[in-house]
Amino acid sequence: MKNNKKVSAIAAAAIMASSTAVMAGEVEVLHWWTSGGEAASVGYLQDKLSDAGVSWTDFAVAGGGGENAMTVLKSRAISGNPPTAAQIKGPSIQEWGDLGFLADIDAVAQANDWDSLLPKVVSDVMKHNGKYVAAPVNVHRVNWMWSNPEVFRAAGATIPTTWDDFMVQAKKIQDAGYIALAHGGQAWQDATLFEAVVLGVGGADYYKKAFVETDMSALQSDTTLAVFETFGQLRQFIDTNSPGRDWNVATSMVINGEAAMQIMGDWAKGEFKVAGKSVGTDYTCTAAPGTSGTHTFNIDSFAFFAQADASATAAQAVMAAEILGSDFQEVFNLNKGSIPARLGMSRDKFDSCAHDSMDAFVASSQTGGLVPSFAHGMAVSSAVSGAIYDAATNFFNTNQSAEEGVRQLVGAIAAAK
């Protein structure tokens, strides 16, 4: 396409110009990183861009895990006035790409050799029809279990490594007068816990078949029944006040020693840090029961929207290059608790939990244990993940039998496809 050539020429010019910092341009960025550490990370990107001569118009829409932001984005895109870049992740990038809204930034990617910087699982998510349309900022590991070793000592329990062992240890903790599992009863948290059980009970191959490919025979297998049985057993280890509780309130229960464990992604680490706790002594991070050697990933990324204006396209290219820069990746991920999306970076400044996560990320990408998180919109379309949310949260909050849980899950996924 003639137009594409022009774009790549401009993009190439932009990359050269960015080093001399004489370029003018503007990016408008839609995101929902508005809380403390996240806002600081975005601020850093903003500074990097202004050094490169690109001004930044902040378009932050807070709340609802990005749901509000997506609503705003849709109306902007339909009216023909999309922002330069927007925080979009996972299969949604493909949905937007299919609708023809995204910009091809392959020129930037080639110039900076993204194919060798990014693991294939990551770069696959960022491409639409083989062309880069988005840039990843981080990799979260979701299958973490955070524990308070003090509570374990007091109860005479050990940190469980399988779900069967979890039931035994949790019983001990409960008998000693503590809450075994800190949990917030919101749909996404129920789904996060469900996801850890799916991976721990069913293993990575089953996980991929049933919850990524949504293969009906895998979903109707006895493994799914076993998953629901284990998931149902967890109800007894959660305090009755959990409905509606925010995840960070649940984390603070582990910090205060009211509760022993929480299954939550690595963003929980920020809460421990803010409370002045140190890893190893005050809290520990281990893989969720039965999931060591696997890694459920949740990657945040910026997708780039096609622009009518050439200077906006040029500024967009500068932003894309900057996001994959090692400076930004390091600062951003230190703030957010995640690990860099690109390989081959110095890991000195990261803590031991992040090191574990990096090791698991690289190792599991070879063994096939690296799986996308369905609870965080990485594995399936929003319709299907919504269906899984409904089935998991309804099962967990009622006294449904495991058979009924399987039936509802299968029905909901079939209806949403």
Partner 1 sequence: MLNLLEKHLPKIVIAPTTVAMIVCMYGFILWTGLLSFTKSRMMPQWDFVGFEQYVRLFDNPRWHIALDNLFIFIFLFIAISLVLGLLLAIFLDQRIRNEGAIRTIYLYPMAISFIVTGTAWKWILNPGLGIEKLLRDMGFVDFEFRWLVDPDMAIYTIVIAAVWQSSGFVMAMFLAGLRGVDDNLTKAAKIDGASAIRLYWHIILPIMRPVFFSAIVILTHIAIKSFDLVQALTGGGPGYASDLPANFMYTFAFNRAQMGVGAASAMIMLFGVLAVLIPYLYSELREKKS
CB of residue 386 to partner 1, shortest distance in Å: 4
Question: How many residues form the binding site for partner 1 (CB under 8 A)?
Answer: 32
74 is an interface residue for partner 1 by CB under 8 A: yes
Can you tell me which of 13, 37, 76, 95 binds partner 1, judged by CB under 8 A? 95
167 is an interface residue for partner 1 by CB under 8 A: no
Alpha-carbon distances, residue 278 vs 4, 33, 207, 284, 414 (angstroms)? 51, 25, 33, 9, 45
CB of residue 388 to partner 1, shortest distance in Å: 11
**Nearest Cα to Cα of residue 65 among 84, 45, 92:** 92
String marking each residue 179-198 x if it binds partner 1 according to CB under 8 A:
------xxx--x--------
Residues 260-319 that bind partner 1 (CB under 8 A): none
Q: Is 148 left (phi over 0), alpha (psi -120 to 50) or beta?
A: beta
Distance CA 122, CA 130 (A): 13
381 is an interface residue for partner 1 by CB under 8 A: yes
Nearest residue (CB) to partner 1, 128 versus 141: 128
Q: Which stretch binds partner 1 (CB under 8 A): 108-116, 223-231, 298-306, 406-414?
A: 406-414
368 is an interface residue for partner 1 by CB under 8 A: no
Residue type, 301: S
Can you tell me which of 62, 168, 310, 383 binds partner 1, judged by CB under 8 A? 383
Can you tell me which of 228, 283, 350, 396 binds partner 1, judged by CB under 8 A? 396
71 is an interface residue for partner 1 by CB under 8 A: yes
String marking each residue 10-49 x if it binds partner 1 according to CB under 8 A:
----------------------------------------
Nearest residue (CB) to partner 1, 220 versus 397: 397
Token pair in block for residue 389 = 């949310």
Footprint on this chain of partner 1 (rule: CB under 8 A): 67, 70-71, 74, 78, 95, 99, 185-187, 190, 240-244, 381-383, 386, 390, 393-398, 408, 411-412, 415-416
